[in-house]
């Protein structure tokens, strides 16, 4: 059998979603992986997995593993293990629930603890969810922006309900750039990293 097969090997990326209970983490993962949204709240116990395969230009096959971490795991023993080895982290809060924004800092501290000995954290995105409920917003956009800037995070406003901007947070070019750099030693340009869902 020849080694020169057309099919490129699949690379794996681990993206984790963290944040308070009911902020919409599972809804975001479901929206992205299945293009669905459910109104009913079902608490995630421990964690849940979602998988999506995407192909990047240059025939780079990526298997995106999404680890959806239940909001009740903050302060628990397992959290460090979930966070370990991630390439991208989505820190999610609900724009209509101020305490979910305040608690972002605790989630972020738990991430920093895991990557304490490494020079670089994975790419971290601050995600304000439920933007369809703009009229009920309690977290000012300025506060969000300042927190993201102060902590070198990318900043996003999304809605799992409408799907607005959801695919972007999962196919965040920064994650691929970091991963690509680690894999090949060369950073890719952002424009060459538009993912194609399959």
Ligand X SMILES: Nc1nc2c(ncn2[C@@H]2O[C@H](COP(=O)(O)OP(=O)(O)OP(=O)(O)O)[C@@H](O)[C@H]2O)c(=O)[nH]1
Partner whose footprint covers residue 23, from Mg ion, ligand X, none (CB < 5 to 8 Å by kind): ligand X
Return the range that interacts with Mg ion (CB under 5 A); candidates 23-31, 84-92, 113-121, 156-164. Answer: 23-31
Residue 134: C-alpha distances to residues 20, 28, 129, 161, 168 (Å): 19, 17, 10, 13, 20
CB of 90 to Mg ion, least distance (A): 13
Phi/psi of residue 128, each to 5°?
A: -90, 115
Q: Cα–Cα distance between 135 and 119 in angstroms, integer? A: 41
- Angle value at C-alpha 173, between 170 and 175, nearest 5 degrees: 75
Instruction: State the binding partner of 103 from ligand X, Mg ion, none, CB within 5 to 8 A by kind.
Output: none
Question: Taking Cα atoms as reference points, which of 64, 43, 46, 67 lies closest to residue 54?
Answer: 64
Considering only the stretches 8-16, 20-28, 102-110, 147-155, report the one whose residues sit in contact with Mg ion under the rule CB under 5 A. 20-28
Binding to Mg ion by residue 33, rule CB under 5 A? no
| Span of 39-47, 99-107, 136-144, 145-153 interacting with Mg ion by CB under 5 A | 39-47
Shortest Å distance, C-beta 135 to ligand X: 11
The residues that touch Mg ion, with contacts defined as CB under 5 A, are: 25-26, 44
């Amino acid at each position: 059998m020849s080694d020169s097969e057309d099919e490129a090997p699949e690379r794996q990326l681990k993206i984790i979603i963290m944040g308070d209970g009911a902020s919409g983490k599972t809804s975001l993962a479901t929206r992205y992986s299945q293009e669905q949204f459910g109104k009913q709240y079902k608490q995630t116990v421990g964690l849940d997995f979602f998988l999506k395969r995407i192909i990047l230009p240059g025939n780079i096959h990526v298997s995106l593993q999404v680890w959806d971490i239940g909001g009740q795991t903050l302060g628990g023993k397992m959290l460090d293990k979930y966070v370990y080895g991630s390439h991208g982290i989505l820190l999610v809060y609900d724009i209509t629930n101020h305490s979910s924004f305040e608690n972002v800092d605790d989630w972020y501290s738990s991430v920093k603890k895991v990557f304490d000995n490494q020079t670089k954290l994975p790419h971290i995105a601050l995600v304000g969810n439920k933007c369809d409920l703009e009229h009920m917003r309690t977290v000012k956009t300025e506060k969000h922006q300042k927190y993201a800037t102060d902590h070198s995070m990318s900043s996003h406003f999304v809605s799992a309900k409408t799907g607005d901007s959801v695919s972007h947070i999962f196919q965040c070019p920064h994650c691929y750039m970091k991963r690509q750099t680690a894999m090949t030693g060369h950073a890719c340009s952002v424009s060459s990293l538009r993912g194609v869902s399959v």
